[in-house]
Amino acid sequence: MQDIKIQNLCKAYGEKQVLNNFSAIFGYGKITCIMGKSGAGKTTLFRILMNLEKQDSGTIIGLQNKKIRAVFQEDRLCEELDVISNIRLVNAKNDKKTVQNALCKMGITENKLVSTLSGGMKRRVSILRALMSEFDVLFLDEPLKGLDKDTKQLVLHEMKGYFQNKTVIMITHEIEEAEFFGGKIVGIEV
Amino acid sequence: MRKNIKLWAVLFWLIVWQVVSMRLNQQILLVSPVRVITRLSELIITKDFWLAIAFSASRIIGGFIIAVIISCLLAVLASRFKRVDELLAPFMLTIRSIPVASFIILALIWFSSKNLAVLISFLMVMPVMYSNILTGIRTIDSKMHEMAQVFEIPPIKQMRYIYIPHIFKYFESACAVCLGLSWKSGVAAEVIGMPDGSIGECLQQAKVYLDTPDLFAWTLVIVCVSLFFERLFLLLLSKIKILVLRMD
């Protein structure tokens, strides 16, 4: 397994240059936090790394044949499915009991339809879906956005348990979150 | 709207109907609800009554089902290929704009009246169903598609758990509208075409002989049968939805 190396990444939308010669190394099996102002290109960087968009120029090494998973800025859950089914949709190897236990640890005790959940609950389901999928590299785009202080602490502790020897890259605006994981912090500027 | 209908309000209007009918005292102009129920109870025990319902229902529902199948196929093709969408747009607009009576008369020139209701029900349902399903397909959130791509969800699972449930909402509402529409247009076609042994023929006979109790009784039958099929179909759809979304 190798580090993820990004060299001179550029991306523009029309006249607007979003990423300008961005370079970074994300260590294999490490947690890296990306911080920067809104509009600095953090989400665009993630989209390029997840192969949802193409860069204008620059190279990315170390993501080939890797199982990439993500917590998006939005929940992106199947509203018509219940909580357990949403999590099992991305990894059927998880049996219902295991998912139920993991949900309890996240403070979700009932297997309701996602459409009936509160915003905070949906967020936690979205996080757990990514954590319980099999992944080599996990991208987290402001995963704790919208959660209250206590729930944030609960989720942060739970997340840490899934991060052992995994490459995790997280976008956050909160320095406390970055410090909690104790990994490298990468700044991104326009 | 149907949830808003209260029994007391229905009873109130039935009483108004009964009082007005008694005051008029002209059974040809306005038959009383009691007389309608009496006539209906006489009709129900006859074999011809049930044969007429079977005749019309089989054709109207047949046209509806054919329209559902063809609209689904066309909507999928139109969402996939722009040219198909462009090709079908004027066709669908024309069908929607032409009055049903024109279609019925035209169809009577071309075909026999026996299966007229199938064609008319089909023509009335197809454009509505097609546009609803197409809207359903077009409003699929691209973000969900990205999620499926990142999590490498197999195409069949994507279809079953992400796309179909979304389109289903549009399909369900189209069915609720179209089932009533197919009955109204189908019976109208039968009234004009008068195929032997149909509900439309019974209605036409009632008109010819100024048999108002029969006219009201058959109208009530059409409303009841249409509602029955609507409920049955929507119940069936909800069961199918549960089956589709079930995860082992």
Residue-by-residue DSSP string for B177-232: HHHHHHHHHHHHHHHHH--TTSHHHHHHHHHHTT-HHHHHHHHHHHHHHHHHHHHH
Least Cα separation, residue B181 to chain A (angstroms): 28
Among A80, A87, A131, which would you mutate to test the B interface (most chain B Cβ atoms within 10 Å of its Cβ)? A80
The pLDDT value given to residue B2: 62
Q: Report the distance separating Cα A63 and Cα A46, nearest Å.
A: 12
Q: Do the chains contact at B247 and A85, CB–CB below 8 Å?
A: yes
Domain boundary among the residues A86, A109, A133 is at A133
Q: Are B70 and B121 in contact (CB under 8 A)?
A: no
| A8, part of any domain | yes
With beta carbons under 8 A apart, name residues in chain B contacting A81. Answer: 161, 165, 245, 247
Ranges of chain A whose pLDDT falls below 50: none
Q: Which of B64, B63, B66 is nearest to B116 (CA)?
A: B63
The pLDDT value given to residue A102: 94
Q: Are residues A93 and A121 in the same domain?
A: yes
Q: Do the chains contact at A70 and B150, CB–CB below 8 Å?
A: yes
With beta carbons under 8 A apart, name residues in chain A contacting B166. Answer: 80
Q: Are residues A162 and A120 in the same domain?
A: no
Q: Do the chains contact at B150 and A89, CB–CB below 8 Å?
A: no
The pLDDT value given to residue B25: 85
Q: Are residues A9 and A43 in the same domain?
A: yes
With beta carbons under 8 A apart, name residues in chain B contacting A95. Answer: none
Give residue-wise pLDDT tens across range B86-101. 999 999 999 999 998 9
Q: How many domains does chain A have?
A: 2
Crossing angle between the packed helical segments B164-193 and B100-110, to the nearest 10 degrees = 70
Q: Report the distance separating Cα B15 and Cα B6, nearest Å.
A: 15
Long-range contacts of A113-119 (CB under 8 A, 24+ apart): A113/A79, A113/A80, A113/A81, A113/A82, A114/A77, A114/A78, A114/A79, A114/A80, A114/A81, A114/A82, A114/A83, A114/A86, A115/A79, A115/A80, A117/A83, A119/A146
Q: Are residues A100 and A189 in the same domain?
A: no
Q: Report the distance separating Cα B31 and Cα B18, nearest Å.
A: 8
Q: Which of B141, B124, B138 is nearest to B71 (CA)?
A: B124
With beta carbons under 8 A apart, name residues in chain B contacting A89. Answer: 151, 153, 157, 161, 247
Q: Is A90 on the interface with B (CB under 8 A)?
A: yes
Q: Are residues A106 and A157 in the same domain?
A: no
Domain ranges of chain B: 45-245
The pLDDT value given to residue A131: 95
Q: Do the chains contact at A80 and B146, CB–CB below 8 Å?
A: no
CB-defined contacts A:B, below 8 A: 46
Q: Is A185 on the interface with B (CB under 8 A)?
A: no
The pLDDT value given to residue B24: 87
With beta carbons under 8 A apart, name residues in chain B contacting A100. Answer: none
| A72, part of any domain | no
Report the 10 Å Cβ neighbour count for B147. Answer: 25
| A21, part of any domain | yes
Q: Are residues A139 and A179 in the same domain?
A: yes
Q: Do the chains contact at B165 and A89, CB–CB below 8 Å?
A: no
Q: Do the chains contact at B161 and A89, CB–CB below 8 Å?
A: yes
Q: Do the chains contact at B245 and A80, CB–CB below 8 Å?
A: yes
Q: Are residues A129 and A139 in the same domain?
A: no
Residue B187 corresponds to which amino acid?
A: V
Q: Are B153 and A89 in contact (CB under 8 A)?
A: yes
Please give the C-alpha separations between residue A156 and each of A71, A135, A182, B138, B198, in angstroms, as whole numbers.
14, 18, 12, 38, 69
Which residues lie across from A9 on neighbouring strands? A22
Q: Are residues A98 and A6 in the same domain?
A: no
Q: Report the distance separating Cα A79 and Cα A96, nearest Å.
A: 19
Report, in angstroms and rounded to the nearest whole number, the Rg of chain A calculated over CA atoms.
17
CATH class of B45-245: mainly alpha
With beta carbons under 8 A apart, name residues in chain A contacting B143. Answer: 72, 74, 76
Cross-chain CB nearest to B245 (options A67, A74, A81) = A81
Q: Are residues A54 and A144 in the same domain?
A: yes
DSSP state of B113: S
Listed by number, the residues of chain A in 113-132 with a beta carbon closer than 8 Å to a beta carbon of chain B are: 129
Q: Do the chains contact at A76 and B147, CB–CB below 8 Å?
A: yes
Domain enclosing residue A110, as ranges: 77-133
Please give the C-alpha separations between residue A83 and each of A25, A78, A100, A110, A128, in angstroms, as whole numbers.
35, 9, 9, 8, 10
Q: Are B188 and B101 in contact (CB under 8 A)?
A: yes
The pLDDT value given to residue B1: 57
Task: Write the CB contacts of A45 (distance below 8 Å, at least 6 apart in sequence).
Answer: A6, A9, A19, A22, A34, A188
Q: Are B121 and B185 in contact (CB under 8 A)?
A: yes
Q: Are residues A90 and A116 in the same domain?
A: yes
Q: Are residues A59 and A95 in the same domain?
A: no
Q: Do the chains contact at B150 and A85, CB–CB below 8 Å?
A: no
Task: Return the half-sphere exposure (C-beta side, CA atoms, 13 A cut-off) of residue B139.
Answer: 13
Angle at A177 between CA A176 and CA A179, to 5 degrees: 65
Q: Are residues A145 and A190 in the same domain?
A: yes
pLDDT means over runs of 10, chain B (248 residues): 80 93 87 91 94 95 96 96 95 92 90 89 95 95 95 94 93 93 94 92 90 92 93 93 85
Task: Write the CB contacts of A129 (distance below 8 Å, at least 6 apart in sequence).
Answer: A71, A77, A86, A87, A89, A90, B151
